[in-house]
């Protein structure tokens, strides 16, 4: 079975992910822009049972526009957010795709909050669903 390991920049916080993710998405929302420091976030979700985290992390929670709470897990040393959970998606954990440091990671199927997308960004692929 496929096993992928995500980690923070300094390497002490890790998430071992077993099997294929159930959902891969790009999010253009302003909170993801601020979280990543980039123009969008990319995340892959697994059932929580398939992900084993190790290392020290701190958490921070935020209530989104739609009222759902997300709780982020980030390295206390280097600050990278490796994972987060959404109350609205119980049983799933989102892992930041960049934390895999793997340009061969499978592409996203969903592009959400496109009404907040930077004009120069295009998420390509025939199978991609584009959502505002
Ligand atoms: Zn770190
Ligand atoms: Zn977002």
With contact defined as beta carbons under 8 Å apart, do 26 and 13 qualify?
no
Give the distance (Å) from ligand 2 centre to CA of residue 78.
21
Q: How far is the CA of 38 from the centre of ligand 1 (A)?
A: 18
Show the DSSP H helices in 13-93 as ranges.
30-36
**Ligand that comes closest to the CA of residue 76:** 1
What is 3-130's CATH number, 3.90.1150.140, 3.40.50.970, 2.170.150.70, 3.40.50.2300? 2.170.150.70
Tell me the CA–centroid distance for residue 69 and ligand 2, in Å. 12
Sheet strands (E) in 76-132:
81-86, 92-96, 110-112, 129-130
Q: Which ligand is nearest to the CA of 7?
A: 1
Q: What is the pLDDT along the chain (132 residues), one digit of tens a residue?
A: 899 999 999 999 999 999 999 999 999 999 999 999 999 999 999 999 999 999 999 999 999 877 889 999 999 999 999 999 999 999 999 999 999 999 999 999 999 999 999 999 999 998 999 999
Q: Write down the pLDDT at residue 66.
A: 78
Collapsed DSSP state (helix, strand, coil) of residue 100 = helix
Neighbours of ion ligand 2 (CB under 5 A): 27, 29, 32
Query: Which residues lie across from 110 on neighbouring strands?
Result: 25, 129
Q: Taking the CB of residue 17, how many other CB atoms lie within 10 A of it?
A: 23
């Amino acid at each position: 079975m496929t096993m992928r390991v995500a980690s923070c920049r300094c390497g002490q916080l890790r998430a071992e992910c077993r099997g294929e993710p159930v959902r891969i998405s790009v999010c253009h929302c302003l909170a993801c822009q601020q979280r990543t420091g980039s123009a969008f976030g990319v995340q892959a979700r697994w059932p929580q049972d398939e992900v084993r985290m190790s290392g020290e992390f701190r958490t921070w929670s935020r209530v989104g526009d739609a009222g759902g709470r997300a709780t982020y897990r980030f390295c206390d040393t280097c600050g990278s957010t490796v994972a987060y959970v959404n109350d609205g998606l119980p049983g799933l954990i989102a892992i930041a795709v960049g934390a895999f440091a793997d340009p061969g990671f499978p592409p996203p199927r969903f592009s959400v909050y496109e009404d907040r997308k930077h004009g120069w960004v295009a998420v390509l692929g025939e199978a991609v669903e584009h959502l505002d």
